[in-house]
Structure 1
Amino acid sequence: MSSLYVAAPVRCVDVDGTQLAYREFGEQSGVPLVLFSRFRGSIDDWDPAVIELLSRERHVVTFDNAGVGFSDGEVGASITEMAKTAVKFIKTLGTKKADLLGFSMGGYIAQRIALTEPELVRNVILVGTGPGGGDGATYPGADVEHWVNSVRDPELTFQALWFNKKPTGIAATRAYLERIYTPERPERANVTAEAGAKLRAAIVDWWEGNGSTLPELENIQHPVLVVNGSNDVMVPTPNSFLMAQRIPNAQLIIYPDSGHASLFQYPQTFSEHVLKFLRDQESGGLK
């Protein structure tokens, strides 16, 4: 296990009778940066290289939604339900205002929170994500089903869906796996097959347009940073352009030679861009 995670033990908070797990990093003051994880990802699947850099300037909070990883309870039946649980979690911590960072499925949740609880949100970072199904959306292809539905070699799966088959992608895949899957990684950090199936059902529902934010993107009034790789096959890159065009106060960054997990392929550059984005908003926006 990363020494960063050892220094930030798993804590729990009661939300409607369910124990939700979280970790905190950095100086625990100021507006927290709350991170929402990917499909089949727990709090220990966040790249410690990214967490370490962000937490140098920010109070970073990662948490497992109900039924995922270290948290108890049942997985929410929809993205909207997961967002409601996440809002309760943030409020239970006593937070009045938060910055949100959502990766992949976590970006779906972050968008829904920005729309339903706008007063709780200050800034939003959306990474490798999209607004769900509907007119204008670009849907994941059959290659995603090929890798997601079967038991395959984890390294090849991450390489195909998150990075790429070039030498740079192969190196990025191995580096990420070495940082995450250490011998000390606890078993509970691995999302169960049952939880994964429920998460997948909610994602399919989202892409079918149920709860999709696509018709409402213009109503997100917060400053938003949209980030993706140049060739994301899981949540196709054109969706990032679509969000950036429709969200009134959005910035867009596309990283070269990268895919779904561009934030883990370029952890230093990504973290610097996030921190600059947050500093810019605190000083009045772009100049």
Structure 2
Amino acid sequence: MVLNYAQAPISRVTAANGIEYAYRETGEGGVPLVLLIHFRGNLDNWDPALVDALARDRRVIAFDNTGVGGSGGTTPATVAQMAQDAIAFVEALSLERIDVLGFSLGSFVAQEIALTRPALVRRLVLASSAPQGAPGMHGWAQWVIDSVGRRELDPAGMLDVFYTRSPESRKAGETALGRMFSRAEPDTPTTWQTRQAQYDAVVTWGIPDFSLLERVTAVQAPVFVANGDNDPMILPRYSHLLAGLIPGAELKIYPDAAHGFLFQHHEEFAADVVRFLDQAC
């Protein structure tokens, strides 16, 4: 088994839904930890430093969901279908019990997996997350979607959304990007179709509906919710709301950090996640 995410090759598996999924994995042992990436992200958008820290004592698997990056098919426009496709990928690997770390859009999908297939998910980490139907979540601020949602990806715009204006945060962001995009075998870039479908899913998830907030109270797995204190994409108040709705959920807000807090504070966040995952059920 390759023990370094930056060196891990891209593997492929065909699920029962007919989709061939691209994935990378590293580490071994324990309950597998499945990673669900953010809006427009692919396998390369996971910081190798974070993944390696998570994989010291467990198997960690990152994958491109349907229509994303190197995976086949067409990206669906609903979180519910993304969750069904993620379950199909997990079943294709013959995994019967998993931990899940969902980041941003991936955290919406993670919630849906835990609600749809509760017997599958042992523990759940929700990074930069919000519950479905939360008021004020109906689309991102215009400057945010302009920064990360244009037809051509803009690294400077990504830095503006994922990191704060402080020199420390910005330097951490530039360093993280350097770690992400220095590999010899890059993943296939995400397409404009993926961008459009994923943003449709994000906007639909955020249509205000107080009755939908009750859904997450049914999550049975232990949950750790985390965010940066200056996240402009998923405002910290939504993480507070989510943690308050899920019985027994843990919450941590990281300082001087925006949407990419988990990369900026990768050592601390990884230690927090490992501690949470290693707790006795």
TM-score (structure 2 length as normaliser): 0.92
Aligned to 2:271: 272
Change (3 A) 1:209 1:18: farther
Alpha-carbon distance in structure 1 between the residues aligned to 2:127 and 2:103 = 5
Change (3 A) 1:246 1:24: same
Tell me, yes or no, if the aligned pair for 1:111 and 1:213 is still in contact at 8 Å.
no
Q: How far did 1:186 drift? A: 2.6
Letter aligned with residue 42 of structure 2 = S
Aligned to 1:194: 193
Alpha-carbon distance in structure 2 between the residues aligned to 1:150 and 1:8 = 30
User: Where in structure 2 are there 5+ consecutive unaligned residues?
Assistant: none
Change (3 A) 1:208 1:131: same
Alpha-carbon distance in structure 2 between the residues aligned to 1:160 and 1:152 = 16
Q: Could you list the per-position Cα deviations for residues 190-241 of structure 1 after superposition, in whole angstroms to 9, with x for gaps in the alignment?
A: 212222122112211111259x963311111210000100011111110000
Alpha-carbon distance in structure 1 between the residues aligned to 2:197 and 2:100 = 23
Aligned to 1:40: 40
Aligned to 1:19: 20
Tell me, yes or no, if the aligned pair for 2:139 and 2:203 is still in contact at 8 Å.
no
Change (3 A) 1:183 1:64: closer
Tell me, yes or no, if the aligned pair for 1:35 and 1:100 is still in contact at 8 Å.
yes
% identical equivalent positions: 38
Alpha-carbon distance in structure 2 between the residues aligned to 1:183 and 1:55 = 18
Aligned to 1:154: 154
Tell me, yes or no, if the aligned pair for 1:33 and 1:60 is still in contact at 8 Å.
yes
Matched residue of 1:124: which SS? strand
Aligned to 1:31: 31
Alpha-carbon distance in structure 2 between the residues aligned to 1:139 and 1:236 = 12
Alpha-carbon distance in structure 2 between the residues aligned to 1:267 and 1:183 = 19
Q: How far did 1:7 drift? A: 3.8
Q: Could you list the per-position Cα deviations for residues 36-68 of structure 1 after superposition, in whole angstroms to 9, with x for gaps in the alignment?
A: 011111112100000111110111011110110
Tell me, yes or no, if the aligned pair for 1:138 and 1:239 is still in contact at 8 Å.
no
Letter aligned with residue 110 of structure 2 = A
Alpha-carbon distance in structure 2 between the residues aligned to 1:117 and 1:229 = 29
Q: How far did 1:120 drift? A: 0.6
Alpha-carbon distance in structure 1 between the residues aligned to 2:134 and 2:166 = 33
Change (3 A) 1:55 1:248: same
Tell me, yes or no, if the aligned pair for 1:40 and 1:199 is still in contact at 8 Å.
yes
Alpha-carbon distance in structure 1 between the residues aligned to 2:7 and 2:153 = 31
Aligned to 1:217: 216
Q: How far did 1:6 drift? A: 5.7
Letter aligned with residue 91 of structure 1 = E
Change (3 A) 1:213 1:4: farther
Alpha-carbon distance in structure 1 between the residues aligned to 2:113 and 2:240 = 21
Change (3 A) 1:124 1:208: same
Matched residue of 2:4: which SS? helix
Which runs of structure 2 are paired with 1:29-68 in the superposition (5 Å)?
Answer: 29-68=29-68
User: Where in structure 1 are there 5+ consecutive unaligned residues?
Assistant: none
Which runs of structure 2 are paired with 1:126-141 in the superposition (5 Å)?
Answer: 126-135=126-135, 140-141=140-141
Letter aligned with residue 17 of structure 1 = G
2:102 equivalent to 1:102: yes
Once the two structures are overlaid, the 10-residue window that deviates more, 5-14 or 190-199, is 5-14
Tell me, yes or no, if the aligned pair for 1:159 and 1:169 is still in contact at 8 Å.
no
Matched residue of 2:278: which SS? helix
Tell me, yes or no, if the aligned pair for 2:19 and 2:72 is still in contact at 8 Å.
yes
Alpha-carbon distance in structure 2 between the residues aligned to 1:183 and 1:227 = 28
Aligned to 1:240: 239
Change (3 A) 1:137 1:73: closer
Tell me, yes or no, if the aligned pair for 1:133 and 1:139 is still in contact at 8 Å.
no
Tell me, yes or no, if the aligned pair for 1:124 and 1:223 is still in contact at 8 Å.
yes
RMSD: 2.3
Letter aligned with residue 228 of structure 1 = N
Aligned to 2:258: 259
Number of equivalenced pairs = 278
Alpha-carbon distance in structure 1 between the residues aligned to 2:187 and 2:111 = 30
Alpha-carbon distance in structure 1 between the residues aligned to 2:126 and 2:98 = 14
